[in-house]
């Protein structure tokens, strides 16, 4: 298995950054040499995902999924991260982060690294993935492979399904270059001869209608293998001449442009955030271009013409040997009935106390309940709201919603509760990136059902995962709470690893009540009893606990920090971890994606190890462990250790007060630290290599499936 080691993550030497160590010889923990650029670290994560596609231990169709996920990840990377850097360069910004890398230099390194990754993707597609699929009877028929019967079927398909909806656009002064949708499939066509009005030659653009599938199954009577497919692009290539009668098509080449998709709404200048976002959403489809993907056989003249049209540089051009929209292959595993080429199916487990039909309020009041998704079912969370909606003793329901997906049964239960006369309050985060339109529709539906809907705090995304039910019991009100590390989204609960904690702890309930009160009234920050909250107490609370571990190790008491998070960027946290390492605190970090900290640097981070787990499920849990002498603390949070989470969002971080459940989470953490099948270990230069033990037999995800899920 080849290991990707992105050399572009390496920092400049200290003298190049202008940072110098203090005269005493102790390291300057703010020096840029100790920080990795966040964008390059994110790109390295995409490389690790790509390695899953190349791993022969992964079932073939799931290897294809990982290839498509890498392509989708790169799309978003360019739409948001590269777009942001380009804007900084356009504005003349030279501002740098902790790594001291300018936006222009970051773009240069990204271009080099991204081009290498794209080349590797298509080389793998053509040399390994497609041949392996063909051996299993899953083929993508090229135009030169079509027999006479298939040619006739393709011709009929073109005339029946494509020709009625396609709109070719000849380029001339009366037909200027069209506005093309973000990430849409298009063709640039060169023409010869005269048209009906006597105009000679020229070029045209043919946008592929988005309503048409990009991958089309060949009917059984025309197929030569069990699963034959053709690309829409192949059919268009074959019949493009019919779109320009009387002229000769001398070239036809596919291309795709990626645009800036970040939305900007000046929250200080708008009266209604929902309406402002509704007005801004259409612009996402036509933002500034940031990347151009073209067929690798496109002549230079057409490629340069497109670059000029999109105001892009040559470094923004990505020639590819294959379909320009690899992500469209994501549907293939669902189109093919081959369970032998996919991960084995499983049924998420259920704790005994939560068997179907169980009274959840009774179960939760007896003792806290911890669920670990997707190994354990998300259904109890939905049932919690359903039972609350139907329970005459329930007075109120309050919930935060960041991402739910369309058609959520949980949302249906909230609306049912409101229609039934209960007080239902929902904090909908309208600015959840790429889910804005879904959340706007969701907010409107909830309001129509009688739900009190608010959009959180102006200037701060509400990313907290909170659900509270208020119930009258024996003449008194009791609060039942669910706190999660992930979204209230049924589909991703089958794909992402997350914890969910049910508790009837009255003090936790008070804290959650105070946070909801703040979200709906914007009252002063509450004095929480147990929870930590961004943007107020979470960062100070983390720094305080890291410092406490330093004091413990200095006093000879047990000291250790373990964190499982999705990203580590915040400079204050990184500096605190460096200081703790120098104190002798043992620190293990399981960071799925971005990590700007450098582990194993002599005199700085010798006691810090960083691992990344890339497996069947997307690792999404946020768990913090502090040994605290002999009184360990375990926290579940919605927040990663990034500036946006700690300072620019509303997040929650809750202690697991039930010692038995805390012990279970600690055991899970230890299992991840033992993983030698799906773990990558980070080196001081920012590169990652697969972790291999003597037996290479431990997969944390597999172990959790075996212990928590049903076969």
Kindly state whether residue 304 falls inside one of the protein's structural domains. Answer: yes
Contact indicator for 225, 210 with CB cutoff of 8 Å: no
Q: Is the peptide bond before 647 cis (omega within 30 degrees of 0)?
A: no
Same domain, 329 and 308: yes
> Do residues 522 and 582 both lie within one domain?
no
Both 49 and 20 in one domain: the answer is yes
Is there a single domain that holds both residue 359 and residue 477? Answer: yes
- 150 domain residue, yes or no: no
CATH number for the domain spanning 46: value is 1.20.58.310
Q: Could you report the per-residue pLDDT of 664-684, keeping only the tens digit for each?
A: 999 999 999 999 999 999 999
Whole-number Å distance between alpha carbons of 254 and 490: 36
- CB neighbour class for 242 (10 Å; exposed up to 12, middle 13-18, buried from 19): middle
Interacting residues of 249 by C-beta distance below 8 A, sequence separation 6+: 189, 190, 191, 240, 241
Cα(261)–Cα(604) distance, integer angstroms: 38
Decide if 653 is inside a domain.
yes
- Alpha-carbon torsion, ordered 674, 676, 677, 683, to 10 deg: 110
Higher-scoring residue by pLDDT: 384, 198: 384
Q: What is the pLDDT of residue 1?
A: 37
Q: Is 16 inside a domain boundary?
A: yes
Residues 285 and 364 in one domain: no
- 137 part of a folded domain: no
Looking at residue 437, what is its pLDDT? Answer: 79
Residues 423, 358 within the same domain: yes
Q: Which domain holds residue 86?
A: 7-121
Of 527, 552, 570, the last residue of a domain is 527
Count of domains forming the chain: 4
Half-sphere exposure of 293 (CA within 13 A, CB side): 25
In a domain, 130, yes or no: no
φ, ψ for residue 433, nearest 5 deg: -55, 130
In angstroms, rounded to a whole number, what is the distance separating the alpha carbons of residues 516 and 400?
Answer: 9
- Same structural domain for residues 403 and 389? yes
The answer on 365 and 319 residing in a single domain is no
pLDDT in tens, 503-553: 999 999 999 999 999 999 877 777 899 999 999 999 999 999 999 999 999
Predicted structure pTM score:
0.91
Answer yes or no: do 519 and 537 share one domain. no
Report the alpha-carbon distance of residue 654 to residue 67 in Å, rounded.
36
pLDDT (tens digit, 9 = 90+) per residue, 304-315? 999 999 999 999
360 near 384, Cβ under 8 Å? yes
Q: Are strands 679-682 and 688-690 parallel, antiparallel or unpaired?
A: antiparallel
Q: Report d(CA 368, CA 362) in Å as an integer.
A: 11
**Does pLDDT of 183 surpass 50?**
yes
In percent, the amount of the chain with pLDDT more than 90 equals 79
For residue range 30-78, list pLDDT tens digits in order: 999 999 999 999 999 999 999 999 999 999 999 999 999 999 999 999 9
- Do 537 and 506 have their domain in common? no
Domain of residue 240, CATH code: 3.30.1840.10
Q: Is the pLDDT of residue 202 over 60?
A: yes
pLDDT score, position 17: 37
Same domain, 327 and 362: no
Lowest-pLDDT range, 36-40, 197-201, 209-213, 588-592? Answer: 197-201
Length of the chain: 711
Catalytic positions? 463
Whether 168 contacts 205, CB under 8 Å: yes
In this structure, are 579 and 598 located in the same domain?
A: yes
pLDDT band at 23 (very low <50, low <70, confident <90, very high): very low
Q: Is position 218 within any domain?
A: yes
Residue at 371 is within a domain:
yes
CA–CA distance, 178 with 181 (Å, rounded to integer): 9
Q: Which of 285, 313, 341 is the last residue of a domain?
A: 341
Percent of the chain beyond pLDDT 70?
A: 92
Asked if pLDDT for residue 24 goes beyond 70, the answer is: no
């Amino acid at each position: 298995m080849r290991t990707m080691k992105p050399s572009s993550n390496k920092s400049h030497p200290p003298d190049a950054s202008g940072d110098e160590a203090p005269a005493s010889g102790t390291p300057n923990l703010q020096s840029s040499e100790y920080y990795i650029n966040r964008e390059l670290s994110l790109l390295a994560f995409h490389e690790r995902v790509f390695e899953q596609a190349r791993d022969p231990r992964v079932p073939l169709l799931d290897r294809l999924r990982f290839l498509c996920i890498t392509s989708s990840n790169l799309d978003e990377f360019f739409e948001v991260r590269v777009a942001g850097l380009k804007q900084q360069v356009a504005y003349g910004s030279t501002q740098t982060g902790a790594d001291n890398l300018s936006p222009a230099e970051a773009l240069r390194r990204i271009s080099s690294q991204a081009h290498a990754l794209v080349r590797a993707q298509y080389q793998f597609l053509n040399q390994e993935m497609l041949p392996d699929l063909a051996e299993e009877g899953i083929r993508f028929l090229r135009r030169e492979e079509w027999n006479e019967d298939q040619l006739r079927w393709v011709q009929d398909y073109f005339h029946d399904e494509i020709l009625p909806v396609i709109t070719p656009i000849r380029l001339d002064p009366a037909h200027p270059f069209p506005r093309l949708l973000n990430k849409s499939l298009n063709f640039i066509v060169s023409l010869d001869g005269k048209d009906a009005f006597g105009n000679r030659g020229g070029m045209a653009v043919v946008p592929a209608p988005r309503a048409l599938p990009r991958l089309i199954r060949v009917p059984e009577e025309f197929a030569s293998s069990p699963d034959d497919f053709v690309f829409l692009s192949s059919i268009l290539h074959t019949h493009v001449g019919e779109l320009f009668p009387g002229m000769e098509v001398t070239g036809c080449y596919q291309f795709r442009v990626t645009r800036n998709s970040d939305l900007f709404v000046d929250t200080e200048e708008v009266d209604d955030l929902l309406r402002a976002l509704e007005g801004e959403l259409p612009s996402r489809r036509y933002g500034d271009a940031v990347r151009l993907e073209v067929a690798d056989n496109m002549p230079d003249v057409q490629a340069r013409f497109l670059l000029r049209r999109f105001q892009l540089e040559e470094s923004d051009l990505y020639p590819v040997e294959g379909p320009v929209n690899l992500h469209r292959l994501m549907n293939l595993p669902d189109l093919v009935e081959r369970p032998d080429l996919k991960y084995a199916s499983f049924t998420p487990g259920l704790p005994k106390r939560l068997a179907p039909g169980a009274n959840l309020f009774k179960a939760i009041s007896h003792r806290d309940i911890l669920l670990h998704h997707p190994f354990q079912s998300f259904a109890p969370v939905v049932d919690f709201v359903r039972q609350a909606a139907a329970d005459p003793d329930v007075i109120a329901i309050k919930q935060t919603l960041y991402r739910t997906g369309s058609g959520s049964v949980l949302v249906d239960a909230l609306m049912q509760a409101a229609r039934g006369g209960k007080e239902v309050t929902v904090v909908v985060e309208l600015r959840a990136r790429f889910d804005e339109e879904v959340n706007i529709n969701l907010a409107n539906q909830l309001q129509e059902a009688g739900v009190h809907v608010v959009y959180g705090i102006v200037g701060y995304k509400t990313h907290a995962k909170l659900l509270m039910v208020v119930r009258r019991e024996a003449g008194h009100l009791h609060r039942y709470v669910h706190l999660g590390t992930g979204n209230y989204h049924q589909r991703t609960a089958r794909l992402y690893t997350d914890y969910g904690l049910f508790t009837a702890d009255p003090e936790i309930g008070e804290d959650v009540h105070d946070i909801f009160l703040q979200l709906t009234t914007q009252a002063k920050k509450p004095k929480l009893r147990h929870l930590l909250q961004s943007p107020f107490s979470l960062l100070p609370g983390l720094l305080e606990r890291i410092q406490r571990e330093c004091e413990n190790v200095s006093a000879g008491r047990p000291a250790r920090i373990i964190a499982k998070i999705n990203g580590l960027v915040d400079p204050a946290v990184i500096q605190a971890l460096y200081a703790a390492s120098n104190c002798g605190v043992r620190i293990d970090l399981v960071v799925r994606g971005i990590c700007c900290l450098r582990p194993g640097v002599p005199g700085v981070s010798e006691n810090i190890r960083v691992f990344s787990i890339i497996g069947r499920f997307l690792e999404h849990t946020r768990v913090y462990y502090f040994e605290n002498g002999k009184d360990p603390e375990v926290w579940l949070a919605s927040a990663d250790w990034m500036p946006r989470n700690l300072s620019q969002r509303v997040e929650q971080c809750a202690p697991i007060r039930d010692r038995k459940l805390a012990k279970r989470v600690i055991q899970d953490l230890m299992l991840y630290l033992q993983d030698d099948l799906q773990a990558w270990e980070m080196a001081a230069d920012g590169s990652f290599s697969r972790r291999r033990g003597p037996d290479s037999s431990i997969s944390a995800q597999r172990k959790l499936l075996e212990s928590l899920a049903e076969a």
